[in-house]
Amino acid sequence: MMEETYLINQVKESVCYISTNFNDELEKCHSMKKEANDIVVDYVLPDYNSGKGGYRRPHVPKKQPAFGSNDEQIMELSDERFSVPELLFTPQDIGLAQAGIAETIMQSLEGVPERYRSLLLANIVVVGGNANIPGFLERLEIELRPLAPAESVVRIAKPDNPVTYTWLGGVVLAGDKAEMKRRQVTRAEYMEYGSVWCAKKMAGEVSGVPGTGPTGAVEKENRSHKKKRAED
């Protein structure tokens, strides 16, 4: 079943949530009987023979008659509900030597001028399907607040549909032909100025005239790119 990524994704979207108190809820799952634990739920796997889809239901102890057909295949889920998405914030729990989401945000901010960092912290927009997991925004704010400067406001928003939000932004940009022309990079410009020029054009930091910045000053960037091309 682990190879059925679509099915696993359905299970995740149906039952998973992100805990704001991971250790307490983990202890609750280990110490309480499943019958008395409101975290425990069942997921009835889809029946492809009958065309019946999978669904979540309240936990039914195995010693009791199951709802519906006796042929149902059931996944009993307890701490898995919050342990799996916990890895978004603590990937080191499974031996991944990488930062969680909150740390990654702060690392990203180090790449922008310091005067913009507080502004960006106050305008965080989360996108992608995982943003829909219950508790995601609350946990991200809890994790991010201690890492941010004390004087900064941490404000996190989620669009109505975080799955398509980035794509819709691209649609809007692609539909503005004048703006796209202003930001496009020709092959000649790329060969002359390199990938840094692309980033600056998309960010609106340079004019449409190759070799000049917003103030008309000559850009002397990405010299290593030109040197490498000359050597080739």
Distance CA 141, CA 12 (A): 22
Same domain, yes or no: 161 and 125? yes
> Which amino acid is it at 122?
A
Distance CA 194, CA 211 (A): 12
Residue 107, domain member (yes or no): yes
E runs forming strands in 150-217: 156-157
> Mean pLDDT for the chain?
85
Instruction: Give the model's pLDDT for residue 120.
Output: 95
Supply 181's token pair. 């022309």
Sign of torsion over alpha carbons 92, 96, 97, 101: negative
Same domain, yes or no: 103 and 61? no
Same domain, yes or no: 134 and 182? no
Instruction: Give the model's pLDDT for residue 222.
Output: 44
The larger pLDDT score, comparing residue 3 to residue 137, is at 137
Q: What is the CA 148 to chain-centroid distance, rounded?
A: 19
Distance CA 134, CA 129 (A): 11
Q: Which residues pair with 57 in a beta bridge?
A: 42
Provide the 3-class DSSP secondary structure of residue 134. coil
Q: What is the C-alpha R_g of the chain?
A: 25
The most confident of the ranges 68-72, 75-79, 198-202 is 75-79
Q: pLDDT band at residue 2, thresholds of 50, 70 and 90?
A: low
Dump pLDDT digits (tens) for 220-229.
444 444 455 5
Distance CA 158, CA 165 (A): 10
The larger pLDDT score, comparing residue 34 to residue 133, is at 133
CB 82 within 8 A of CB 18: yes
Provide the number of structural domains found in the chain: 3
Task: Kindly report the CATH number assigned to the domain that includes residue 103.
Answer: 3.30.420.40
Residue 67, domain member (yes or no): yes
Of 84, 103, 120, which residue sits at a domain end?
A: 84
Same domain, yes or no: 75 and 96? no
Task: Kindly report the CATH number assigned to the domain that includes residue 49.
Answer: 3.90.640
Instruction: Give the model's pLDDT for residue 11.
Output: 92
Which residues span the domain enclosing 15? 5-84
- Nearest alpha-carbon partner for 13 in 118, 99, 133, 167: 133
Of 84, 102, 127, which residue sits at a domain end?
A: 84
